[in-house]
A and B are shown apart, each in its own frame.
Chain A
Amino acid sequence: MTSTRSVPRETAPAVTSLPGLLRAPWAGATWRGLAQLALGYLWLVTVGLVVFDLVLVAASLVPALGLGLLVLPATLWLARWFAAAERARLAAQTGIAIQDPGRRRPARPGWWGRTTAELTDRRGWLATAYAVAGLVVVTTFLSLAVVAAGSAVAAVILGVHSVVTQPADLSWLLAVPVAVVLAWLAAVLAQVGTLVTASLAQAMLGVSPASAARAAQHAAEAEARAAETAATSARQRAVELTETRAAALEAADAERRRIERDLHDGAQQRLVALGVALGTARRAAETDPAAAVTAVEHAHTEVKETLAELRDLVRGIHPAVLADRGLDDALSALAARSPVPVRVDAGPDLGRAGSGVQAAAYFVVAEALTNVARHARATRAHVRAAVVPDPEGPARLLVEVSDDGAGGAEARPGSGLAGLRGRVAALDGTFDLTSPPGAGTRLRVELPCAS
Chain B
Amino acid sequence: MRIVIAEDSVLLLDGLTRLLQTEGHDVVGHRTAEDMVAALTAPDASLPDLLVTDVRMPPSHTDEGLRAAVHLRSLYPDLPVLVLSQYVEQRYAAELFAHGSRAVGYVLKDRVADVEEFLDAVARVAGGGTVLDPEVVSQVLARTRHELDDLTPREREVLALMAEGLSNAAIADRLVVGPAAVEKHVTNILTKLGLPVDADTHRRVLAVLRWLDRNGEAR
Contact = CB atoms under 8 A, between A and B. Distances in A.
Interface of A: 261, 264-265, 268-280, 282-284, 291, 302
Given A269-B12, A272-B12, A276-B115, 14 more contacts: A268-B109, A272-B15, A272-B110, A272-B112, A273-B14, A276-B19, A277-B15, A278-B113, A279-B116, A280-B19, A280-B22, A282-B115, A283-B22, A284-B22
A13 to B, nearest CB: 94
A276 B22 contact: no
Interface residues of B, number: 21
Given A264-B56, A265-B9, A268-B86, A274 B113 contact: yes
Contacts of B14: 273
B147 to A, nearest CB: 34
Contact of A272 (B8, B18, B22, B113): B113
23 contacts: A261-B61, A268-B86, A269-B9, A269-B11, A269-B12, A271-B113, A272-B110, A273-B9, A273-B14, A275-B110, A275-B113, A275-B114, A276-B12, A276-B15, A276-B18, A276-B112, A276-B113, A276-B118, A279-B19, A279-B113, A279-B118, A283-B22, A283-B116
B16 interface: yes
B17 to A, nearest CB: 10
Interface string B1-21: 000000011011011101100
Which interface residue of B14, B18, B109, B116 has the most chain A CB atoms within 10 A?
A: B18
A284 to B, nearest CB: 7
A264 B54 CA distance: 12
Contacts of B16: 276
Contacts of A275: 110, 112-115
Which interface residue of A264, A265, A273, A283 has the most chain B CB atoms within 10 A?
A: A273
> Chain A binding site: helix, strand, loop or mixed by DSSP?
helix
A277 B15 CA distance: 6
Contacts of B19: 276, 279-280
A373 B196 CA distance: 66
A169 B112 CA distance: 147
A223 to B, nearest CB: 57
A283 B115 contact: yes
Contacts, number: 58
Interface string B28-67: 0000000000000000000000000000100001000000
> Chain B binding site: helix, strand, loop or mixed by DSSP?
helix
Contacts of A280: 15, 18-19, 22, 115
Which interface residue of A271, A272, A277, A283 has the most chain B CB atoms within 10 A?
A: A272
A275 B109 CA distance: 11
A272 B109 contact: yes
Interface in B80-113: 86, 109-110, 112-113
B115 A279 contact: yes
Given A268-B86, A279-B19, A273 B11 contact: yes
Which interface residue of B15, B16, B56, B114 has the most chain A CB atoms within 10 A?
A: B15
Contacts of B11: 269-270, 273, 302
B161 to A, nearest CB: 23
A274 B19 CA distance: 12
Which interface residue of B61, B115, B118 has the most chain A CB atoms within 10 A?
A: B115
B113 A291 contact: no
Contacts of A282: 115
Nearest to A266: B9
Which interface residue of B11, B114, B116 has the most chain A CB atoms within 10 A?
A: B11
Interface in B126-166: none
B22 A291 contact: yes
B129 to A, nearest CB: 21
Which interface residue of A264, A271, A279 has the most chain B CB atoms within 10 A?
A: A279
Contacts of A284: 22
A372 B110 CA distance: 38
Contacts of A269: 9, 11-12
A261 B118 CA distance: 25
Which interface residue of A268, A276, A279, A284 has the most chain B CB atoms within 10 A?
A: A276
A274 B86 CA distance: 16
Nearest to A302: B11
A217 to B, nearest CB: 64
Contacts of A272: 12, 15, 109-110, 112-113
